[in-house]
Every structure is written in structure tokens, then in C-alpha cells.
Amino acid sequence: MKSAIFILAMLAAAAASAQTNQAWKTCRNPVRVFPGAATVDLRPLFAWWARQPTNSISAETNSAADTREVRPLAAWRLVTGTPVSIFGDSWVVDAAIYTSPTVLTNARIILNHPPTVEEERFNNLKTQITYLDGQIAATRRAYDTATNAEALAYARVEMYRRSISKVAPTGVVQYSRTAEREHDAAAAALNETDQLEAQKKEIEAELKTIPSHDGVYRIEWFAVDRGHTKAGVPIFDLGLVSATPP
């Protein structure tokens, strides 16, 4: 009994992670193209998917008990997970396979036409953020250095102003100019920091539109069950993503 409750809890957690608290769209890129110019439009499936309840969980694939209308494109599933290896041009994935937002099964699959472009974009964005973090840290240090130097120069100006030394006027001019240069340097560093942080926010916003889990790219795509296996592993196909409606 305890093991059954545990399994259901794990399934519920998996469903919740796939459907909530995300900035990306599960139902995206509806047009898929396959070899031989075959094109599939997933918009009817996406519309059906959006109408389904999301507050219960079942481990039985192809369950019709929780649906109130005929499911279009029955061979298409929502596949989530992370690739564990590469198989030729395909990925081997330990996947959660959804037939509705709350009906899933777990299986190792081969995914043809995997989302390599999206994964590469995700990793590139993370690299850009790491680079920007380094640049931001450097400009902040430059700002602090210039600000401290400016304060020191103004302190010297005040010292020379109170001095009765013959070189006091020269010292006032010299350190006033130094303070102005350091002030300008601090302002430039602050402006550059602001620009870099704005750029980082834009990249972070784009990064959030790509599926991930704990900072690692995560597959979350609709793929078709090809109905056959290779070495006993089921084959799914994402198809080629097309921006042009059929």
C-alpha cells in the first residue's frame, strides 16, 4: 500500500513539473514536416490539450476515462525528459510520455529528429550569461576602484586647500582634475554595468522560454509514436519544426 502511494506521489510530481511553474509553452511549434514532404498540423491536438483537466494523475497510458471528447492525433504524445545517449542522429531518452496532461507512462525511447537546435540555443544562452556575469563583476570592480580614487583625490584637494604651502594651488588643480577623471571613469563603469545587466535580463528572459530543470536542458516536445522499436526500444519522432502553417 505504501509503495503504491509513493508511486502515485512520484507520478503526480512528474505531472506537476511538466505542466506548472514554467515560462515556456508546452504547446509550441505545431507544424511538423517529415521526409517525403508529409506535414502534420498539431493545432487541433494543442486545442484539445488545453481543455483537459490537470488536477489528477493516472499511470495508465491511453486511458479514455478522463476525456470528454475524442482526442485528435492519437499517435502523438508529449515527451519529457533528458537525453541519456546519442543513437546515430537520434537521442535515447528516459522519458515521461503523456497522452493527456495527467495520463502518462515512463519508458526509455529513441527520439528521431531530436531538438538539437533548441538544446544548442539553451547552452549558448547559458554561456552568454556566464560571460556577462564575469563582465559585470569586472565593471563593478572598476566602478569601485574609480569611486575610491575619486574620494581620495577630493581628500587631497581639501588637504591642499587648507595648506599654506606654496605648491597648494598646484595641488588643488592637479587633484581636482584627477577627481574629475575618476568621476567620469566611475560613471562610465556604472553605465556599462547597467547595459550589461540589461543585456543579461534579456538573455535570461529568453532562456526561461526553453524547457529546463535545475539548469539543464529538458526535452518537452510533442512527438509521434512510430509504432515500432529498435533493439526493443520504442521509436518516437519529433519531426522537423516548421514555422510555416500547412
Residues linked to residue 97 through DSSP beta bridges, in sequence order: 79, 105
Residue with cell string 554595468? 193
Can you tell me the distance from the alpha carbon of 68 to that of 174, in angstroms, rounded to the nearest whole number? 83
Least reliable range by pLDDT among 2-11, 38-47, 181-190, 217-226:
2-11
219 in the same domain as 111: yes
Q: Is the pLDDT of residue 218 over 70?
A: yes
pLDDT for 233 equals: 96
Q: Does 103 share its domain with 217?
A: yes
Looking at the fold, whether 99 and 7 belong to one and the same domain comes out as: yes
Please give the pLDDT value at position 19: 45
- 160 shares a domain with 49: no
SS (H, E, C) the chain: CHHHHHHHHHHHHHHHHHHCCCCCCCCCCCEEEECCCEEEECHHHHHHHHCCCCCCCECCCCCCCCCCCCCCCCCEEEEEEEEEEEECCEEEEEEEEEEECCEEEEEEEEEECCCHHHHHHHHHHHHHHHHHHHHHHHHHHHHHHHHHHHHHHHHHHHHHHHCCCCCHHHHHHHHHHHHHHHHHHHHHHHHHHHHHHHHHHHHHHHHCCCCEECCEECEEEEEEEEEEEECCEEEEECCEEECCCC
| Same-domain pairing of 132 and 200 | yes
pLDDT at 9: 40
**pLDDT per residue as tens digits for the range 116-130:** 999 999 999 999 999
Residue 230, CA distances (Å) to 87, 180, 189, 234 in order: 11, 72, 58, 7
Same domain, 153 and 223: no
- Nearest-10 crossing angle of helices 168-207, 116-162: 160
Q: pLDDT tens across 143-154, in order?
A: 999 999 999 999
Residue type (1 letter), 30 = P
The verdict on 218 and 106 lying in the same domain is yes
43: cell is 493545432
User: How much of the chain, in percent, has pLDDT values that exceed 90?
Assistant: 76
d(Cα 136, Cα 118) in Å, to the nearest integer?
Answer: 27
Q: Do the beta carbons of residue 77 and residue 201 sit within 8 Å?
A: no
Which CATH number do you get for residue 184? 1.10.287
Check whether residue 135 and residue 111 sit in a common domain.
no
Q: Categorize the per-residue pLDDT at 56 as very low, low, confident or very high, splitting at 50, 70 and 90.
A: low
Q: Which residue has the higher pLDDT, 120 or 36?
A: 120
CA distance 32 to 224: 10
How many domains does the structure of the chain reveal?
2
Show the domain range for 184. 120-207
Written as nine digits, the cell of 86 is 546519442
Does residue 101 sit in the same domain as residue 160?
A: no
% residues pLDDT > 70 (the chain): 84
Burial pattern 70-102, b for ≥16 Cβ within 10 A else e, equals ebebeebbbbbbbbeeebeebbbbebbbbbbbb
